[in-house]
């Protein structure tokens, strides 16, 4: 351990030694070690010797570490060069970071080889990173970087790539490796997402109980968030859609990806609430629509047809099927109920561990896709499923051998308040 004085001005107080064991791991250490070995196997397959991991979600998935700030748009004089480095031949890994984050690493990560920057300047930190890796013998061969990560930004990523190239390494885009490794969930991850679902259900029930004309969107959103967090739910990775809109011609007006605001909710309006419960940073997505008035028969009929998509997935969509096969089933059903050419969509995207600014994972499907159709719904994948035809129905699914399991117990219907 270096002297505390080496880090003056980089930590808010005393630079305390990292404890030998983490205190709040989301999973057993064996779970994290298995993840690292899966990543190493994919690295070997891609002929990558060293992987510099910077996507916050991926770092958290690898060894547990996550923070509230990643300096993605920080001052230009203070480039974010943090990252976790994996070598294809070793379970041991290195994490580079600012010493401010030492207590966070101690709390939630299995990382024990943490190497802290002694400066905020790239001119100091880049040679430090290269020197540490060179001393380990890890700068021979091919280095993979995550070009699709938002951290670091382009300017900083270019600095980092240039430093690797200057050491004689070959640098390639390895963005797909962690995305692929994370796709199939372990039993422990699925149990975590099931707990997140319980939190989202609490949010839906809170809206059902508290919603009334005269309150603002923010007031209701605050009550909903408070109830979910009281139960143990964490901050979601993006700000949910949470809006009250007029009803025109028997359908709610779309609000896009709007946040809750100071708008006063009126009788007769429609509230859209797109919630994620969050447990150990794993997300479960539930959306329902709430009508402050009497629905028309057409509105109820449309909800019944849209809800049928979830029955289709329960009964006919199984792990091992391709996107082409699933889309064929969806289109057949939509044609049967008269929605195939209607305004709206059926789609889904991968869910799992997420940090701001997004909870949308890499695997994505849409019933109108005409490419990427050979991708497979693997056993123990988790996605949301959206059936939106002026019907605000979203839930979270696990793909199993015998069908797709819908995780929430909230009825797939319009909620009339």
Contact (CB, 8 A) for 333 and 382: no
Mean pLDDT of 300-328: 98
Share of the chain above pLDDT 70, in %: 97
Residues in contact with 133: Cβ distance below 8 Å, sequence separation at least 6, in sequence order: 50, 85, 94, 139
Q: How many CB atoms lie within 10 A of CB 11?
A: 17
- In the three-class reduction of DSSP (H, G, I as helix; E, B as strand; rest coil), residue 399 is classed as strand
Contact (CB, 8 A) for 59 and 50: no
pLDDT at 74: 85
- In the three-class reduction of DSSP (H, G, I as helix; E, B as strand; rest coil), residue 346 is classed as strand
pLDDT at 21: 57
Mean pLDDT of 82-105: 96
Q: How many CB atoms lie within 10 A of CB 179?
A: 18
Residues in contact with 216: Cβ distance below 8 Å, sequence separation at least 6, in sequence order: 260, 261, 262, 263, 264, 265
Tokens matching residue 339: 């929605």
Contact (CB, 8 A) for 186 and 31: yes
CA-nearest of 285, 377, 295 to 330 is 377
176-226 pLDDT, tens digit per residue, is 999 999 999 999 999 999 999 999 999 999 999 999 999 999 999 999 999
Mean pLDDT of 10-30: 77
Structural domain boundaries of the chain? 4-182, 187-416
267-301 pLDDT, tens digit per residue, is 999 999 999 999 999 999 999 999 999 999 999 99
The DSSP letter of residue 101 is G
In the chain the first and final C-alpha atoms are separated, in Å, by 61
CA distance 221 to 218: 5
Q: How many CB atoms lie within 10 A of CB 416?
A: 14
Which superfamily does 4-182 belong to?
Answer: Creatinase/prolidase N-terminal domain (3.40.350.10)
Say whether pLDDT at 416 is over 80: yes
CA-nearest of 136, 185, 236, 177 to 54 is 177
pLDDT at 327: 98
Instruction: Express the helix, strand and coil content of the chain in percent, nearest 5 each.
Output: 35, 20, 45
pLDDT at 5: 74
Contact (CB, 8 A) for 258 and 213: no
342-364 pLDDT, tens digit per residue, is 899 999 999 999 999 999 999 99
CA distance 273 to 256: 12
- In the three-class reduction of DSSP (H, G, I as helix; E, B as strand; rest coil), residue 407 is classed as coil
Share of the chain above pLDDT 90, in %: 91
244-255 pLDDT, tens digit per residue, is 999 998 899 988
CA distance 78 to 122: 7
pLDDT at 95: 98
Say whether pLDDT at 17 is over 70: no
The DSSP letter of residue 194 is H
Say whether pLDDT at 18 is over 80: no
Same-fold call for 4-182 versus 187-416: no
Report the mean per-residue pLDDT for the chain.
95
Which parts of 211-296 fold into alpha helices (H)? 217-231
pLDDT at 10: 87
Correct CATH for 187-416 of 3.90.230.10, 3.30.70.240, 3.40.30.10, 3.20.20.220 = 3.90.230.10
Residues in contact with 196: Cβ distance below 8 Å, sequence separation at least 6, in sequence order: 233, 276, 277, 278, 279, 282, 283, 284
HSE at residue 175, side-chain half, CA atoms within 13 A, is 9
Contact (CB, 8 A) for 375 and 323: yes
Say whether pLDDT at 231 is over 80: yes
Say whether pLDDT at 1 is over 50: no
- In the three-class reduction of DSSP (H, G, I as helix; E, B as strand; rest coil), residue 10 is classed as coil
* 251-252 and 270-279 strand pairing: unpaired
Contact (CB, 8 A) for 351 and 381: no
324-347 pLDDT, tens digit per residue, is 999 999 999 999 999 999 899 999
Mean pLDDT of 100-122: 94
29-61 pLDDT, tens digit per residue, is 999 999 999 999 999 999 999 999 999 999 999
């Amino acid at each position: 351990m270096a002297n505390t004085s080496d880090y003056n001005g980089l930590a808010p107080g005393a630079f305390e030694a990292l404890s030998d064991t983490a205190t709040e791991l989301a999973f057993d250490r064996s779970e994290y070690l298995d993840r690292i070995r899966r990543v190493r196997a994919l690295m070997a397959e891609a002929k990558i010797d060293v992987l510099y991991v910077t996507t916050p979600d991926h770092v958290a998935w690898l060894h547990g570490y996550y923070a509230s700030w990643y300096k993605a748009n920080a001052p230009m004089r203070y480039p974010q060069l943090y990252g976790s480095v994996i070598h294809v031949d070793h379970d041991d890994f290195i994490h580079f970071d600012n010493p401010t984050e030492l207590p966070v690493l101690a709390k939630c990560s299995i990382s024990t080889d943490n190497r802290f920057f002694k400066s905020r300047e790239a001119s100091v930190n880049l040679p430090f990173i290269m020197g540490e890796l060179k001393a380990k013998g890890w700068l021979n061969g091919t280095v993979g970087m995550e070009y699709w990560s938002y951290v670091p930004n382009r300017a900083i990523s270019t600095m980092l790539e240039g430093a690797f190239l200057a050491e004689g390494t070959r640098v390639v885009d390895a963005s797909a490796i962690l995305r692929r490794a994370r796709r199939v969930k372990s039993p422990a991850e699925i149990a975590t997402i099931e707990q997140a679902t319980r939190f989202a259900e609490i949010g839906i029930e809170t809206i059902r109980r508290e919603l009334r004309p005269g309150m603002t969107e923010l007031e209701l959103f605050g009550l909903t968030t408070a109830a979910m967090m009281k139960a143990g739910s964490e901050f979601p990775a993006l700000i949910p859609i949470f809006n009250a809109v007029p009803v025109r011609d028997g359908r709610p007006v779309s609000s896009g990806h709007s946040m809750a605001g100071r708008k006063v909710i009126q009788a007769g309006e429609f509230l859209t609430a797109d919630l994620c419960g969050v447990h150990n940073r794993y997300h479960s997505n539930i959306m329902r629509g709430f009508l402050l008035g009497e629905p028309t028969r057409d509105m109820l009929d449309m909800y019944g047809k849209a809800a049928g998509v979830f029955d289709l997935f329960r009964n006919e969509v199984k792990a091992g099927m391709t996107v082409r096969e699933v889309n064929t089933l969806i289109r057949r059903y939509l044609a049967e109920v008269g929605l195939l050419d209607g305004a709206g969509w059926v789609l889904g995207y991968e869910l799992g561990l997420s940090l701001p600014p997004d909870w949308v994972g890499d695997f994505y499907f849409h019933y109108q896709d005409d490419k990427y159709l050979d991708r497979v719904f693997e056993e123990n994948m988790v996605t949301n499923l959206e059936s939106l035809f002026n019907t605000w129905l979203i839930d979270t699914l696990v793909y199993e051998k015998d069908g797709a399991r819908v995780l929430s117990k909230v009825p797939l219907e319009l909620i009339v308040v």
